[in-house]
Amino acid sequence: MMIVMKDGATSEEVQGVVDRLHEVGAEAHLSKGEFKTVIGAIGDREVISQVPLLALPGVEKVIPIMKPFKLVSREFHPDDTVVDVGGARLDSGRFVVIAGPCAVEGEEQMLSSARAAREMGAHILRGGAFKPRTSPYSFQGLGEEGLRLLAKAGEMTGLPVVTEVVDVRHVAMVSSYVDMLQIGARNMQNFLLLREVGLQQKPVMLKRGLSSTIEEMLMAAEYIVRGGNSNVVLCERGIRTFETATRNTLDLSCVPLVKRLSHLPIIVDPSHATGQREIIADLARGALAVGADGVMVEMHPDPRSALCDGSQSLGFDEFAGMMEQLRSLAPALGRVV
Ligand code: PEP
Ligand code: MN
């Protein structure tokens, strides 16, 4: 249920509605726009509908939210949510580029990637430190040492950093090194982990599950926002289909659909979607054209020797080429890279 307050409703009137909702055991989530305050009432629909909300002072109208996701729905929050990742803002104007290696492998590899990312105009640096892989025999990441190297590379280049957190017990520790926490595709429905990252305030990038529907992704985001953290960035990274020519199938239609359904920013990861460096720049342009807020791509000083996801990692020259293509396309779409 969404309670829209009248223009200029007083804070006492808003509090009156919040108190009334709490009395019947419902949660009240406030969304303050420039003119209007909207209160999202979450709880037992039957119970809430018994409260004469329309009769309370300052209330303009009461609208039921039909979607299963509430707080992340555009009905609840009509304006785009702007997420600030250590100074890099996902605000629909700028097309934000996140780049870096799949995994942090060592100091030199991380620092040279960071310098290249910075030089070529990326806005955020990535690097995985915890890499549970499909095979337990593959490289599993450097753990906390990897986080130290990522943070150092970020500091040296002035780039904010993002990394994946895979364990509820690591959230506070990982969060102390980075500007944004990433929830990987395989953990999109790890509800305990979602709850935990919702209890802290660092932005969270939530990747779409390998076989998840858009609704399931938005329900996963709802867990994080419900915990109190509305700094959520969604990421379309390809889904499993019958097609085997690419590692996954990039579902670009997800982007404009999510834009209609939700106020959260959404970016695209063409690296994991395709598994092939040759077509990453093409799909990054596609992401820009369909209105994504940014892309995340993997790059490596020497992709052929990468310990993880080398075939989908761009070399520095290829990354520079992609940036140039994005920069020349952006003005036609009213965007800046
Ligand atoms: C990643 O971005 O490092 C990653 C592991 O991606 P995904 O969770 O989408 O597979
Ligand atoms: Mn990877």
Percent of the chain with pLDDT over 70: 100
**Domain extents in the chain:** 2-63, 83-333
Within 8 A by CB and 6+ apart from 131, the residues are 102, 103, 138, 139, 140, 141, 164, 308
Mean pLDDT within 175-198 = 98
pLDDT in tens, 36-51: 899 999 888 888 988 9
| Residue in 54, 93, 45 with CA at minimum distance from that of residue 265 | 93
Domain 83-333 has CATH 3.20.20.70: yes
Are 132 and 170 contacting, i.e. CB atoms less than 8 angstroms apart?
A: no
The pair of three-digit structure tokens given for residue 273, joined into one six-digit string:
């979607």
Nearest CA to ligand 1 atom 9: 185
Of the candidate CATH numbers 3.30.70.1140, 3.90.79.10, 3.20.20.140, 1.20.1280.260, the domain formed by 2-63 belongs to 3.30.70.1140
Distance 307 CA to ligand 2 centre (A): 10
Q: Do domains 2-63 and 83-333 have the same CATH topology?
A: no
CA of 307 to the centre of ligand 1 (A): 14
Q: What is the pTM of this model?
A: 0.94
At 265-320, the pLDDT tens digits run 999 999 999 999 999 999 999 999 999 999 999 999 999 999 999 999 999 999 99
Q: In the structure, which protein residues have their CB atom closer than 6 angstroms to any atom of ligand 1?
A: 102, 128, 164, 184-186, 207, 237, 272
Nearest ligand to the C-alpha atom of residue 295: 1
Q: How far apart are CA 251 and CA 248, in angstroms?
A: 9
Residue 304 has a pLDDT of 97
| Structural contact between residues 260 and 75, judged by C-beta atoms closer than 8 angstroms | no
CA distance 120 to 317: 10
Query: Which of 207, 208, 211 is the pocket-test mutation for ligand 1 (most atoms within 8 Å of CB)?
Result: 207
The whole-angstrom distance between residue 36's C-alpha and the CA centroid of its chain comes to 26
Helix 107-119 and helix 144-157, axial crossing angle in degrees, nearest 10 = 30
pLDDT higher than 90, residue 92: no
| CB 279, CB 254: distance < 8 Å | no
Averaged confidence pLDDT in the chain? 96
Q: Is residue 282 helix, strand or coil?
A: helix
Decide if 169 contacts 141 (C-beta within 8 A): no
**pLDDT band at residue 171 using 50, 70 and 90 as cut-offs:** very high
Closest CA to 158 of 129, 128, 130, 121: 121
Question: In the predicted model, is pLDDT for residue 65 greater than 90?
Answer: no
- Which of 165, 272, 298 should be mutated for ligand 1, with most atoms under 8 A from CB? 272
Compute the distance between CA of residue 181 and CA of residue 129 in angstroms, rounded to an integer: 12
Burial class (CB in 10 A: 0-12, 13-18, 19+), 330: middle
Distance, in Å, from the CA atom of 132 to the CA atom of 145, rounded to the nearest integer, reads 16
Residue 167 vs residue 32, higher pLDDT: 167
Find the 32 Cα to ligand 2 centroid distance in Å.
Answer: 38
pLDDT digits (tens, 9 = 90+) for 192-232: 999 999 999 999 999 999 999 999 999 999 999 999 999 99
